[in-house]
Amino acid sequence: MSSNEPADNPILKKFDVQGKNIVITGGCRGLGFTFAHTLAQCGANIAAIDLNEQPSADFASLPFGGNYKYYRVNVTDYEALKKTIDKIYEEFGSIDGCIPAAGIIRDRPFLEHTEKDWRDTIDVNLTGVFFTLQHCAAKMVEQKTGGSIVCISSTAGHKSLAPQTIAAYTASKFAVRGLAKQVAHEMAKHNIRVNSISPGTMLTDMLKGIMEQDPSRKQLFVDSCAMKRLADPGELAGIMLYLMSEASSYTTGQDFLVDGGLV
């Protein structure tokens, strides 16, 4: 009879991410930080990328199982990002996972969206994701051990959301899903899996900002989902662990909605 201890359980072993080196953009706060926390607690080594001078104070108090390192770079800067990914590869020895979670949102009626709103949103949410994927995938090909990439789309990448006025954001999130699907096809021969997740309304600073802008939004978000509540970012931990580990070895080119029944 097999043991029920997690370390001896062949099914739980498939979810093991110990020793994997994972790049996370937008790793300073919100969902990126939550992914860093979850994966590090499971023994992965995290290279977190963000804009801030220093990582948030929260990092110091985290019970990390693996190593953690912070890199300051703007994901829209192709050359600077490439140098950072080169450095991470050199310092960590491999890149086994990549989560391009850096993102911004501009919540303004369509006719009031400025040129800057559009360009900034597409630049960070789509171009920055493209650059991150390309630089990380190149390293995964070079090291010949495959890898897993998980892009962050949104329920806004599936449908228009009545409470919000986020045309550029919605366009960027539809595009991210498409990007992940195409890259999945091209990278499969290198054993690099590329998927995306589409979270619903997760209680992060980004979402708090939107609700502060218009407090009536909260009720609209709650009412629009079958489970009638906002989500804690930690509720994405399970899907991320699945996608980053060998448990998902035959899963690529897919998008996973985690939305409390919104769609």
Q: Specify whether 148 is catalytic.
A: no
220 belongs to the binding site for ligand NAD (CB under 6 A): no
Active site residue 169: yes
Indicate whether 103 belongs to the interface with ligand NAD (CB under 6 A): yes
Site for ligand NAD in 135-164 (CB under 6 A): 152, 154
Cα atoms in the 13 Å half-sphere on the side-chain side of 181: 10
In whole angstroms, the minimum distance from the beta carbon of 117 to ligand NAD comes to: 14
197, β-bridge pairs: 152, 256
Of the pair 148, 204, the CB lying nearest ligand NAD is at: 204
Nearest to 128 by CA among 94, 193, 172: 172
Query: Could you tell me the CA-to-CA distances from 49 to 33, 62, 123, 170 in Å, in that order?
Result: 10, 17, 16, 24
CB 81 within 8 A of CB 131: yes
Among residues 66 and 128, whose Cβ is nearest to ligand NAD?
128
Query: Structure tokens of 45?
Result: 């080594």
Which lies closer to ligand NAD via its Cβ, residue 127 or residue 143?
127
Query: Following DSSP, what letter does each residue of 209-253 receive, concatenated?
Result: HHHHH-THHHHHHHHTSTT-S-B-GGGGHHHHHHHHSGGGTT--S
Active-site entry in 94, 148, 153, 154: 154
Q: Which of 211, 200, 258, 233 has its CA nearest to residue 58?
A: 233
**Closer residue to ligand NAD in complex, CB, 45/154:** 154
Is there binding between residue 262 and ligand NAD (CB under 6 A)? no
Q: Is 78 a catalytic residue?
A: no
Site string for ligand NAD, 52-91 (x = CB under 6 A): ----------------------xxx---------------
With beta carbons less than 8 A apart as the criterion, state whether 70 and 76 touch.
Answer: no
Q: Which stretch binds ligand NAD (CB under 6 A): 16-24, 27-35, 130-138, 237-245?
A: 27-35
Nearest one of 25, 154, 44, 180 to 101, comparing CA atoms: 25
23, 31, 48, 99: which one binds ligand NAD (CB under 6 A): 31
**Does 127 sit near ligand NAD (CB under 6 A)?**
no
Check binding of 51 to ligand NAD (CB under 6 A): yes
Nearest-10 Cα torsion for 215, 217, 220, 225:
-120
Residue facing ligand NAD at closest CB distance: 30
* Cα–Cα distance for residue pair 37/203, rounded to 1 Å: 16
Q: How far apart are CA 244 and CA 97, in angstroms?
A: 7
Catalytic residue among 68, 70, 89, 169: 169
User: Whole-number minimum distance, CB 244 to ligand NAD, in Å?
Assistant: 16
Tell me the closest approach of the beta carbon of residue 136 to ligand NAD, in angstroms. 14
What residues line the site for ligand NAD (CB under 6 A)?
A: 25-26, 28-32, 49-51, 74-76, 101-104, 124, 128, 152, 154, 199, 201-202, 204-207
Residues tagged active-site: 154, 169, 173
